[in-house]
Amino acid sequence: MNSYQFDLFNAFTEKAFGGSPAGIIYDGAELSTEQMQQIAREVGAPATCFVIRVEKDDVHTRFFSTAKEYPMCGHGTLGLMTGLVERGHLEVPLGQTKKVHLHTSASSAVVQVTHLSNSRIEVMLKLAPAVFEPASLTPDQFKVFFGVSSQARDSSLPVEYTVSDFSHLVVPLKSLDDIRAVTPDFERIHEFCTQHHIDTVVLFSRQTVHPDSTVHCREFAPRVGTPEVPAAGTTNRALSCYLVRHDLLECSDGESHTVTSEQGYEMGRPSGVITRMALDDKTPTDLWVGGVATKVMSGQFFA
């Protein structure tokens, strides 16, 4: 039996028991794909990250859910970069920022890692803006999938679909009470998502728990192994771009704008996902998604 350095982080939260869990295996280079998938199932987190190698400012890794390999993972990246700095694999002095190149087997991304003055590590993942297309969700489907009347959906805004590293269906709701009342039928959602090649369904309301938040959302992803997602970076990229697309933000071209999304509250895992972007002719540019992660477990994984 071999042992592997292991940490568990809660991403998109400054406290334990919030955000989205992400496991980190730091010495995963010799593991096969089958072993990684087996370990990810055993860890049971929405994402487990396997570090393949770190070469100065280039980090090579693989992300797995309990069901499949991810091409990229926002909350896994927060845990990964925080762990690499804390364990000394990445050098980012206090008060400074470093840009790191993150490589998976499917894609690459630039990550901005800042060692804040309070010693926390802020991690922001640079992502391309989301591109949308129309989508269909009938009133009967809405009621069956989410357990609330179709009157809860904000019919003044469209349901839309976008594909990047993941595919997302974005569904606007009228109020915070409506989104809290949702009781998802995960089996039906899984069938629908499989049929239409959708990885996650995100419901959002512009009413929020905290007055300084922009939106409140819930996300369902049974097709990729996580029935309800407590926090996700790539999904909030899509949601932020949707808000810009439909003139739901007060922002002007050339100005930096921040979107703060509440997620995970109905699961008892409150989180805050930050999106920073600029606009060019009302099109998002220079888009970064991230936040901080909190370590909740550290030790050895035996396999």
Rounded to an integer, the average pLDDT of 231-259 is 89
Residue 282: per-residue pLDDT: 78
CA dihedral 242, 217, 166, 58 (to 10 degrees): 100
Structure tokens at 131: 């591109």
Whether residue 68 is predicted with pLDDT greater than 80 in this model: the reply is yes
3-class DSSP state of 267: helix
Question: What mean pLDDT value characterizes the chain?
Answer: 95
Tell me the β-bridge partners of 284: 279
Whether residue 1 is predicted with pLDDT greater than 90 in this model: the reply is no
Asked whether the whole model's pTM tops 0.85, one would answer yes
Tens digit of each residue's pLDDT (9 = 90 or more) over 248-300: 998 776 778 999 999 999 999 999 999 999 988 878 889 999 999 999 999 99
Residue 111: per-residue pLDDT: 98
Rounded to an integer, the average pLDDT of 9-31 is 96
What CA–CA distance (Å, rounded) separates 216 from 27? 37
DSSP 168-211: EEEEEBS-HHHHHH----HHHHHHHHHHHT-SEEEEEES--SST
Rounded to an integer, the average pLDDT of 54-60 is 96
29 Cβ contact partners less than 8 Å away, ≥ 6 residues apart: 51, 52, 53
Give the whole-number percent of the chain exceeding pLDDT 70. Answer: 100
| Locus of tokens 């309301």 | 205
Residue 250: per-residue pLDDT: 81
Tens digit of each residue's pLDDT (9 = 90 or more) over 32-43: 999 999 999 999
Tens digit of each residue's pLDDT (9 = 90 or more) over 149-159: 999 999 999 99
3-class DSSP state of 231: coil
Tens digit of each residue's pLDDT (9 = 90 or more) over 262-275: 999 999 999 999 99
Residue 253 CB-density burial (10 A; 0-12 exposed, 13-18 middle, 19+ buried):
exposed
3-class DSSP state of 33: helix
Q: Are 201 and 171 in contact (CB under 8 A)?
A: yes
Give the whole-number percent of the chain exceeding pLDDT 90. Answer: 92
Residue 280: per-residue pLDDT: 85
What CA–CA distance (Å, rounded) separates 162 from 168? 5
Structure tokens at 286: 């220079």
Tens digit of each residue's pLDDT (9 = 90 or more) over 93-152: 999 999 999 999 999 999 999 999 999 999 999 999 999 999 999 999 999 999 999 999
Whether residue 179 is predicted with pLDDT greater than 90 in this model: the reply is yes
